[in-house]
Amino acid sequence: MLSLPSAKNNNNDSNIVDLLYHLCKENEIEKVRSILPYINNINIINTIQNSTGSTCLHIACYYGHRHMVQLLLDYGALHSIRNLRHNLTPYEEAYTDDIKQLFVQHGKLFSNNNFDYDYIEWSVVGDDLLGKRREFRQAIDLYKNYDNHNLVSKLLAEVIHYYLNEYLKNESNDAGNPEDQITREQIETIEGYFKEAIEKQDYLTHFVKAYTLTNCFYKVLNKHLALYILQYFDNTKDFSSNYRLVNCLVHIVTLLIYHPNLPQYRYQGICYRGMRITQNDLNQYLSNQHILNRSFLSTSIDREVAEMFAGEGQQSKMRYTPKNHCALQYSCLCQYLIKQNSTAINIQSLSSRPDEKEILILPFTVFKVIAIKQNYLNNPTASISIEIELEECEDSNDNKNESENSQTSRTSSLSSTSDDIKDVEEYQTFKQRKRCLYSIIRFLMFAILLGLTFMFIFIFVIHQVTRRKYR
């Protein structure tokens, strides 16, 4: 058997990481199988190797070693870690369908809340998405009465107390990629902005300041929106464990959508979004396809800014498969045509990074894919590999709803603070009662089943005793 250095210090751990990484690259599966049981710190298999910036699972996926990937997954290798050079997860490094299927199967067997970016559905794709959008907007009508400061303060206090100080802090303790984690110090900074929003009665300004900071808050928030926000609108699901999280996410989005100062920042026209995408991402964009975004989309009115984020001219330095040199990621520029005035806001004057000239597209917006240009097919040295043109789908009900909303807003100012708070509390109480009712029903069904079981046993015993008595 291979001799394994004892993991007594960081230097020895680093040696073990280097050894495992090399064996995984060379597909020495029996040697790896013999080593893994003797590693004291199993997190070593999730450690990024210094010289390459990747983990053992990354390199096994990249070289197509299916059985090695299976072994590492069985020993707890994390899916969600991104390598340092290319910002790809192991799933995104895999170029064979059989290895990708391993991740899907493993995710089903060991599902938990530690979702990987590969499995997050950032958008809804399909037909009649305008109808879906209307349903979402109708479901959040409760938040129209924004002019009530006490109500807003109460909702933001819950965001601070639960989402920032409980949920995010607990999540920051979990293992994962450092670039996708938010630190406790960053959480405290975000908390400061939310507290200022309450004190100065200006949620719009201070949310944008927090969102545009150069930390992970916008990444983490958008991940949670993509994962959980739709649960709020699904009456068939009882999201008891995520109840407070989902409500906090709804507060964050809808208090922005119905902010009274939002109209002065509204934007209509063309904006651009630059990103590096994988083939998995690209598969969502088909000509004439309709897409509804679950989270915020950061775009810019400046095409050059978007091209910078796309990795303009950097395609040759991006990740390719080792054998046939096919691209695993592409530089991509999306062009959005914003038609309605309730879709996007120009936050340049509010942003912590005004030089990016950011246009923030709000969640639940429907776009149609107009055209896809795959520049790399004709010109491998093209500065931008893929260009996607999207146009917003107009909803004829929007203008009507907007006039109704303004009228409702004027009328709602006459209603009392306590009434507005009562509305929210009554809704939350209804949800809690619904969960309690389901719990009681489940308990009663269990009790009935248990009673029937005991009755059957009792009858069976009496029957046996009676038979013996008369023999």
Domain assignment present for 177: yes
Partners of residue 331 on adjacent β-strands: 276
Distances (CA, A) of 220 to 156, 169, 468: 18, 12, 70
Q: Please list the pLDDT of the chain residue by residue as tens digits (471 residues).
A: 444 444 345 667 788 899 999 999 999 999 999 998 888 777 888 999 989 999 999 999 999 999 999 999 988 888 878 888 888 889 888 888 889 888 877 765 544 444 444 456 778 888 778 888 888 888 887 677 666 788 889 999 999 999 999 999 888 766 455 556 788 899 999 999 999 999 999 999 999 999 999 768 999 999 999 988 888 877 666 556 788 999 999 999 999 999 999 999 999 999 999 998 888 788 888 899 999 999 999 999 999 999 999 988 877 778 888 887 788 888 999 999 999 998 999 999 999 999 999 999 999 999 999 999 998 877 877 889 999 999 999 987 765 555 555 454 434 332 333 343 344 455 455 556 666 776 787 788 888 888 888 888 878 777 777 766 655
In a domain, 138, yes or no: no
pLDDT for position 333:
96
CB 123 within 8 A of CB 284: yes
Whether residues 385 and 436 fall in one domain: no
141 lies in some domain: no
Asked if the structure places residue 143 within a domain, the reply is no
Write down which residue in 259, 288, 310 finishes a domain: 259
Residues 398 and 364 in one domain: yes
- 409 within a domain of the structure (yes/no): no
Q: Do residue 323 and residue 255 come from a single domain?
A: no
383 and 428 co-located in one domain: no
What pLDDT is attached to residue 429? Answer: 59
In a shared domain, residues 385 and 427: no
Sign of the CA dihedral 20, 25, 30, 31?
negative
Shared domain check, 105 and 18: yes
**pLDDT value of residue 399:** 56
What residues have CB less than 8 Å from 383, skipping those under 6 apart?
307, 312, 313, 315, 331
* pLDDT for residue 42: 75
Residues 68 and 124 in one domain: no
Q: How distant is the alpha carbon of residue 399 from its chain centre?
A: 31
Q: How far apart are CA 118 and CA 80, in angstroms?
A: 8
Tell me if 2 is assigned to some domain: no
Looking at the domain assignment, is residue 140 inside a domain?
Answer: no
* Distance (Å, whole) CA 52 – CA 196: 43
Point out the domain boundary residue: 242, 259, 276: 259
CB-based burial, 431-462: b 16+ in 10 Å, e otherwise = eeeeeeeeeeeeeeeeeeeeeeeeeeeeeeee
Based on its alpha-carbon atoms, the radius of gyration of the chain, rounded to whole angstroms, reads: 27
pLDDT of residue 408: 46
Q: Using CA of residue 323, residue 328, residue 329, residue 335, what is the dihedral sign?
A: positive
* Tokens of residue 467, six digits: 């038979």
Rounded Cα distance between 137 and 401, Å, is 10
Q: Are strands 344-346 and 297-300 parallel, antiparallel or unpaired?
A: unpaired
Structure tokens at 393: 């789908």
Q: Which of 259, 291, 307 is the last residue of a domain?
A: 259
Q: State the Cα–Cα distance between residues 244 and 374, nearest whole angstrom.
A: 43
Q: What is the pLDDT of residue 303?
A: 96
Q: How far apart are CA 378 and CA 374, in angstroms?
A: 8
Q: What pLDDT, on a 0 to 100 scale, did the predictor assign at position 111?
A: 45
User: Do residue 389 and residue 438 come from a single domain?
Assistant: no
Token digits of residue 375: 């520049």
Q: Same domain, yes or no, for 178 and 163?
A: yes
Residue 175 sits at the vertex; the CA angle it makes with 169 and 178, to the nearest 5 degrees, is 80
Give CA–CA dist 236/230, Å, rounded.
Answer: 11
Number of domains in the chain: 4
Helix (H) or strand (E) holding 332: strand 329-338
* Residue 235: inside a domain: yes
**124 strand-pairing partners:** 292
- Domain co-membership, 203 together with 271: no
Are the CB atoms for 394 and 339 separated by under 8 Å? Answer: yes
Q: For the stretch 252-269, what's the b/e string if a residue is b when 16 or more beta carbons lie within 10 angstroms of its beta carbon?
A: bbbbbbbbeebeebebee
- Same domain for 278 and 243, yes or no, is no
Question: Chain centroid to CA 423: how far?
Answer: 29
In whole angstroms, what is the distance from residue 113 CA to residue 171 CA? 10
Look at residue 337 in the predicted model and tell me its pLDDT: 97
Residues 462 and 361: their CA atoms lie apart, in Å, by: 72
Q: Do 75 and 182 share a domain, yes or no?
A: no
CATH of residue 335: 3.90.176.10
The parent domain of residue 450 ranges over 416-471
